[in-house]
Chain A
Amino acid sequence: MPRTDPIGESRLIQWVLIGISLTFLAFIVFLPLTLVFVEALRKGFGVYLAALKDAETWAALRLTLTVAAISVPLNALFGICAAWSVTKHNFAGKNLLLSLIDLPFSVSPVISGLIYVLLFGAQGWFGPWLRSHHVEIIFAVPGIVLATTFVTFPFVARELIPLMQAQGTEEEEASLSLGASGLHTFWHVTLPNIKWALLYGVLLCNARAMGEFGAVSVVSGHVRGLTNTLPLQIEILYNEYNFTAAFAVATLLASLALVTLVLKTILEWRYADQLAASHKH
């Protein structure tokens, strides 16, 4: 059988393989996503809006935004510091430090919450001391912030480190030798070089921070209107068989995920050369 491309497959095989892939993706990814919006609007737009206007949902939204507003900048600052120390300097133990930064990715979200309960819970190491000083961490907002920060800890650092490694130190050295201060050099030389990768890391970090469920679930205590984040609010509504409201709240987070994907894709297409090597398609 003659074939024009010696290393390609026949059109038929191509379409069969594409068909299998798309069917698989439909069952695993596209149908679940569609279902979220269909279920939310099943009883009409009025019911959908009413579910979103609920006071507890608003409180959950406020808490989710508050937690992300603390965790994400903290992890961005950590990522910049970690990347600066690791890529612009050479020191012993660097590889160990890199592995430790990635460690939270191999820890179950539930365990990420558990470790803080063991430290700050009523029966934890610091429990009695915190209690006598009237400081609440577990079943309160600080615990949720801690657990979220743990889970999202490596996101910014692992975007910046490969990129800054590849960029080397020559530009910084040139700037310093011309008399610029360290901070001036970072601000005017390093930051412009890494800004898109930083934004990329912050974007992924933020998506995970707002959507985290397991870790937050363990430390939150599920106090309605006080320590419920949006994902926890979804769980409560769903377990009360209030499916329309659960899916209505879920559309907020699903939309966040879609916006994140769109921005991420735009960054990958437009600034591929300024992101880490791993994102160059």
Chain B
Amino acid sequence: MSLAQFLPRLKQPSVIPGFGLTLGFTLLALGLIVIFPLIALVLKASSVGAAGFLQAATNPRVLGALRLSFGAAAIAALVDAVFGVLIAWVLVRYNFPGRKLIDAAIDLPFALPTAVAGIALATLYAPNGWIGALAAKAGFKIAFTPFGIVLALIFIGLPFVVRSVEPVLAEAQRDVEEAAALLGANRWRTVRQIVLPAIYPALLTGTALAFARAVGEYGSVIFIAGNIPLVSEIAPLLIVIKLEEFDYVGATVIATLMLTISLLILLGVNKLQSRLEMRYAKD
């Protein structure tokens, strides 16, 4: 009858019905919409052979775009880590008028469509924009430079860090902080040695999520980027350009590289995180 009866070791018995139906639909949808198309991508990339893949991958324009995407995403994630912790701290520990409103607005980068964020940031930071004009007077150019790319990626990644850190800060044990204060540690030392180590695993998760999102981000970046090859052309945009030129192999190679590097980094972060959690548990 059902698969579960043929393979008793694979599934624990349960009186709750619907296992075959719901798992079947889950696997069917997941397979058709996610797994199969991604396998097709990898197969297409491998169909050009090692030499062809290497040639497409080591093209200077491709390398430049990948370096920019991963580099800008890393800088943006670090900025998000610093300001995300600060904002989470302020929202959890302090009371000030409008706190709940600000807390709700943190999720705006999640909710605001990327194209809207993109044209708004580009207009705001363009040389004739509200902030861009001020920066231009000081001799800075923000929009249409790599700096503009980092700015858009900071926007897109911020909620990941704040939302990861907030619950941990809220649940932190205040009595340990009190004990440190009573033992004579000044406030900064208490924060550095008691509070921050407790939030490191959550901070790492949030920063990794912000980084992963930023690497692949397209909509909020292309309007502010300037899109000059080798200078301000991100990898997702180069994929779109290759597609428009019907260079399917080129597009596929960049996509495969991006996916592989992202997954390797996320895997490394997972390892680092379990190590951090173990060390924290030991202390």
- Contact yes or no, B94 A17, CB < 8 A: yes
Which stretch from A18-26, A45-53, A193-201 is at the chain B interface?
A18-26
Q: A6-B181, A21-B86 are in contact. Are A32 and B120 (CB under 8 A)?
A: yes
Contacts of A58 in B (CB 8 A): none
- The prevalent SS among residues of B at the interface is helix
Inter-chain contact A90/B119, CB cutoff 8 Å: no
Which A242-266 residues sit within 8 Å CB-CB of chain B? 243, 246-247, 250, 253-254, 256-258, 260-262, 264-265
A159 CB to closest chain B CB (Å) equals 13
Residues of A within 8 A of B34 (CB): 100, 103-104, 150, 153
Q: Cβ of A111: which chain B residues have Cβ within 8 Å of it? A: 41, 216, 236, 239, 255, 258-259
The 0/1 profile, CB within 8 Å of A marked 1, for residues 217-247 of chain B is 1110001000000000001110110010010
Q: Cα distance A230–B239 when bound, in Å? A: 22
Minimum distance in angstroms from A84 CB to a CB of chain B = 4
Q: Is A114 in the interface zone, CB < 8 Å from B?
A: yes
CB of B207 closer than 8 Å to a CB of A = no
Query: Given contacts A109-B219, A118-B40, are A21 and B19 in contact (CB under 8 A)?
Result: no
- Chain B residue nearest to A22 in the complex (CB): B102
Contact A182 B246 (CB under 8 A): no
B111 at the interface (CB under 8 A from A): yes
Measured between alpha carbons, how far is A49 from B118 in the docked complex, in Å?
23
Q: Let me know if B17 is at the binding interface, CB within 8 A.
A: yes
- Chain A nearest CB, measured from B80 CB (Å): 10
**Chain A proximity of B214: nearest CB distance (Å):** 10
Partner of B113, one of A77, A80, A123, A257: A257
Task: Render B33-63 as a binary contact track against A, CB cut-off 8 A, 1 for contact.
Answer: 1111110110010000000000000000000
Is B11 in contact with A182, judged by CB distance below 8 angstroms?
Answer: no
For residue A26, give the distance in angstroms from its CB to the closest CB of chain B.
10
The reply to whether B113 and A231 contact each other, CB–CB distance below 8 Å, is yes
Q: Tell me the complex Cα distance, A172–B116, Å.
A: 44
**Whole-angstrom distance from the CB of A207 to the nearest CB of chain B?**
5
Contacts of A6 in B (CB 8 A): 178, 181-182
Residues of A close to B124: CB separation below 8 A = 31-32, 35
CB distance from A123 to the nearest CB of B (A): 6
A interface size (C-beta, 8 A): 101
- Contact of A213 (CB < 8 Å), options: B18, B23, B218, B246: B218
A132 within 8 A of B: no
CB distance from B185 to the nearest CB of A (A): 10
For the complex, is B272 an interface residue (Cβ under 8 Å from A)? no
**Contact A114-B41, Cβ < 8 Å, known A21-B86, A81-B26:** yes
Residue of A nearest to B223 (CB): A238
Cβ–Cβ contact B177 & A7, under 8 A: yes
By beta carbon, the residue of chain B nearest A13 is: B187
- B215 → chain A, closest Cβ, in Å? 7
A70 adjacent to chain B (CB < 8 Å): no
CA distance A101 to B29 in the complex (A): 10
Identify which of residues 64-108 in chain A touch chain B, using a CB-to-CB cut-off of 8 Å. 74, 77-78, 80-82, 84-86, 88-93, 97, 100-101, 103-108
* Contact present for A89 and B33 (CB under 8 Å): no
Q: How far is the CA of A110 from the CA of B182 in the complex (A)?
A: 55
Chain B residues with CB under 8 A of A232? 115
* Cα A155 to Cα B261 with chains together (Å): 24
Whether B11 lies near A91 (C-beta < 8 A) is yes
CA distance A220 to B86 in the complex (A): 41
On whether the beta carbons of A177 and B26 are closer than 8 Å, the reply is: no
Does any Cβ of A come within 8 Å of B248's Cβ? yes
Q: Does A149 contact B (CB under 8 A)?
A: yes
Report A146 CB to chain B, min CB distance, Å.
7
How many Å from the CB of A70 to the closest CB on chain B? 13
Task: Choose among A22, A32, A250 the residue with the greatest number of B CB atoms under 10 Å from its CB.
Answer: A32
Q: Does B68 contact A (CB under 8 A)?
A: no
Which residue from A35, A80, A146, A243 sits with its C-beta under 8 Å from B130?
A35
Within 8 A of B (CB), among A185-234: 186, 204, 207, 210-214, 217-218, 230-232, 234
List of A residues within 8 angstroms of B243 by Cβ: 114, 117, 218
Q: Which one of B102, B116, B178 contacts A254 once the chains associate, using CB atoms below 8 Å?
A: B116
Can you report 13 residue pairs joining A to B where beta carbons are below 8 Å apart? A29-B155, A33-B108, A80-B22, A81-B23, A91-B4, A108-B255, A110-B218, A118-B248, A146-B33, A211-B116, A250-B116, A257-B112, A261-B105
What would 15 more interface pairs be, CB under 8 Å, given A6-B178, A32-B155, A261-B104? A21-B83, A28-B155, A36-B120, A81-B29, A88-B16, A105-B213, A114-B243, A115-B37, A115-B41, A119-B40, A211-B113, A213-B115, A234-B115, A258-B111, A264-B107
